[in-house]
Structure 1
Amino acid sequence: MSRVRSAPESVDPRGAVTLDQVASAAGVSRATASRAINGGNRVSPAARSAVETAVRELGYRPNLAARSLVTRRTDSIAVVVPEPDERVFADPFFARTLSAVNRVLAEKDLQLVLLLARPGRDDDRLLRYLGNSHVDGVLVVSHHRSDGLSDRLAALQLHAAFVGRPWTHADKLSFVDTDNVEGGRLATQVLLERGCSRIGTVSGPADMTASLDRLEGWRSAMREAGQPLDVVEQGDFTEEGGARATRALLERHGDLDGLFVASDLMAAGALRVLAEAGRRVPDDVAVVGYDDLGVAERTTPPLTTVSNPTGELATRATRMLLESLAGGEPATPMRLIVTPTLVRRASA
């Protein structure tokens, strides 16, 4: 059985403990010490224990560059956000998402690499970076049809997972999503149950699956109730975008008495416009948002909204990606759909 010996007197001129010193202290060969440190299989339990003890007692820190040549791992995960910088730093969705991802990665001693890609401008640079094995896996957040990430990541055969259903290759890529169709239906049903007779919606961008699914949920509930489907204005998931869309709806439909807004940030803009127009909420116009990430509690009045469990989605997608990495080659795609819930407050 191997046992830990005293460290030799010779040291690295920079003062760092070397792999040779660890091997000598553990009483094993340099190759065995390297395999034990880098997770190799051909190491006896006794040798592995001796190496671990030597590493701990000598304070050895592996050369990460050298280790990556052996393991072909970078110990880092890219989080790709194809959105303008100003939106990423203003929307609580992204703060909640990144916090959840980083928490899971920190548990595994992995590094988060944030890659912001301005839509239509940074695509080639981003794909070159990902294709050159600078990271072990990719997590995509806020995917747009125009960014082409679902097509290109499927072609690269990288370990990847999406927060939100990808536009294409949903059968080849792992993703976690909330049932946005059901969420849109739940929100609209609240307004129908109040007796609203002219119910409009501010949808999200037309190039995002979440936007289209929430809009389809609104349409489904309206269709079942025999209500018109033309009271629609597109927003962009920002507060100002929600304000612009609401102004347009009021100009076209002065009798609007119910409004489903596809994000709480847009709903905050909608409430501002309704107040400016002298329309009381919920007496004149009842409003329901979507997300419940803190904004809904601070509006006047507080928003009835659909909970989008962003932290849970990001956590599960990250664990899904790490499970794929643990298996070596990209695994069979995994998919998880989370059921949304309604949070009732004063706006409806």
Structure 2
Amino acid sequence: MTITEPSAGPACLPPGRTPTLAHVAELAGVSPATASRVLSGSTRVSRAARMQVEEAVQRLGYVRRRPASREPRTSGAVAAVFCEDSARVFGDPFFARVLWGIKRELDGRAPLVILMAGRPEEWRTTAEYLRGGHVAGVLLISSHRDHPAALVHAAAGAPVVLAGRPLTDVPLPYVDADNRGGARAAVRHLVASGRRVIATIAGPSDMAAGVDRLAGYRAGAEEAGLDTTGLIGRGDFGQLSGEHAMNRLLDRRPDLDAVLCASDPMAVGALRALRRAGRRVPDDVAVVGFDDAPIAQRVRPRLTTVRQPIEDLGARIVRELRACMGGKSLSDRGVVLKTKLIVRDSA
């Protein structure tokens, strides 16, 4: 397959002209067949071609037009698309809580289809299902940078609402928690309690929650005049990654006296690493998590954490999707829900 330089032509369509797959292909500098394979989730395209098609879809605002014969098949169903593999979805209580909020708000008024698209083959299946015109709207949950929302929207040909701020400049509505503000409040609490060498275990850099919680930590540290050299670790929101990151932080900065973890499971992993290292919590090292998951109150010491309204987030994305399905504009509009620091025993 030959990739040419993207054209600038179709990006300036006449007013009222609906972009087509041919326009996407022309702007991306690929063949219509390649553009179609990208929208179908096929892996038989190069990374460069995929990125050019994604950019073209976003610039044009392309959405697949459903054949009229398929319209009756939608039945008003809503698809919840989890951009994680099944092990993560079933193992992290965050997803169950989001799903509970979605079900509570739907209240049986529309069928709910649950799709998981964490692996390439799962995304291909999901894209083909959405292209079949089976759903009237899509809830996109836990989207990563390499799960572009614009392609989901284009494939589904139906309204899409995101749970979480998109990292790309895509004009779709979303509902998020105040991740940055919550992390900043946690750092302020740690500083007020006398901690001066405050580390963080950040989440994935390809997810808005990971990016924003790290930004909040940095803002809080800068506000307090703290040096963060060697104090930033990384995890994937899971417990094992938190334990490994805590061990690395202790090796680099044995003088640290506090750690903000970007999820409660990572905080639980950090507690385990600190216990093995002979550090007392909170006497030697204070620990703060994020989410206020059920485990935060079961672990010992009980976890100080930033509470985000997860069930409410699930309910709100359904309300936003209903608004879009009712004809409201799909312009860029984000809803940010408040977070709250819950102080317990660990910090």
User: Structure 2 length as normaliser, TM-score?
Assistant: 0.76
Change (3 A) 1:120 1:167: farther
**1:301 offset after TM fit, Å?**
0.4
Aligned equivalent of 1:96: 97
Whether the 8 Å contact between 1:77 and 1:135 is mirrored in structure 2 is yes
**1:153 offset after TM fit, Å?**
2.9
**In 1, Cα distance between equivalents of 2:265 and 2:282:** 18
Aligned equivalent of 1:190: 189
Aligned equivalent of 2:177: 178
State how 1:1-348 maps to structure 2 within 5 Å.
73-108=74-109, 110-148=110-148, 150-156=149-155, 157-170=157-170, 172-230=171-229, 231-327=231-327, 331-348=330-347
Unaligned runs of 5+ in 1: 1-67
What amino acid is aligned across from residue 259 of structure 2 in structure 1?
Answer: L
CA RMSD of aligned residues (A): 1.8
| Segment of structure 1 superposing worse, 73-82 or 213-222 | 73-82
Whether the 8 Å contact between 1:79 and 1:114 is mirrored in structure 2 is yes
**In 2, Cα distance between equivalents of 1:118 and 1:107:** 27
SS in 2 for 1:317: helix
**1:127 offset after TM fit, Å?**
1.7
**1:213 offset after TM fit, Å?**
0.3
Whether the 8 Å contact between 2:135 and 2:158 is mirrored in structure 1 is no
Whether the 8 Å contact between 1:119 and 1:146 is mirrored in structure 2 is no
Change (3 A) 1:202 1:268: same
**In 2, Cα distance between equivalents of 1:196 and 1:83:** 36
SS in 1 for 2:91: coil
**In 1, Cα distance between equivalents of 2:119 and 2:267:** 24
Q: How many residues align?
A: 277
**In 1, Cα distance between equivalents of 2:71 and 2:116:** 30
User: Structure 1 length as normaliser, TM-score?
Assistant: 0.76
Once superposed, which parts of structure 1, at least 4 consecutive aligned residues long, lie more than 4 Å away? 68-72
SS in 2 for 1:337: strand
What amino acid is aligned across from residue 248 of structure 2 in structure 1?
Answer: A
SS in 2 for 1:145: coil
Change (3 A) 1:277 1:132: same
SS in 2 for 1:122: helix
**1:80 offset after TM fit, Å?**
0.5
SS in 2 for 1:146: coil
**In 1, Cα distance between equivalents of 2:325 and 2:73:** 12
Unaligned runs of 5+ in 2: 1-68
The higher radius of gyration belongs to 1
Percentage of pairs with the same residue: 41
Change (3 A) 1:134 1:70: closer
